[in-house]
């Protein structure tokens, strides 16, 4: 597992700091659509919350 993922998983770094877009779990299709056109939407990382 990459170092960044380990730091986020352990809670030492908040994963939300890296997200450019945030979606609820039930909006995962919208997240996919946003990321499909990442350049148009300036999407770098999508955060999916439960």
Alpha carbon distance 17, 24 (integer Å): 17
- Torsion sign over Cα 30, 31, 33, 34: positive
Does pTM surpass 0.95? no
4-46 pLDDT, tens digit per residue, is 888 888 999 887 777 889 999 999 999 999 999 999 999 988 8
Task: Please tell me the predicted confidence (pLDDT) of residue 47.
Answer: 85
Q: What is the largest CA-CA distance in the chain?
A: 33
Task: Please tell me the predicted confidence (pLDDT) of residue 33.
Answer: 96
Six-digit token pair at 17?
């700091």
Six-digit token pair at 31?
């997240």
- Do you know the residue count of the chain? 50
Task: Please tell me the predicted confidence (pLDDT) of residue 30.
Answer: 96
């Amino acid at each position: 597992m990459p170092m960044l993922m380990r730091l986020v998983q352990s809670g030492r770094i908040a994963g939300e700091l890296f997200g450019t877009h945030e979606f609820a779990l039930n909006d995962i299709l919208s997240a996919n659509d946003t990321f499909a056109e990442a350049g148009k939407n300036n999407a770098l990382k999508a955060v999916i919350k439960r």
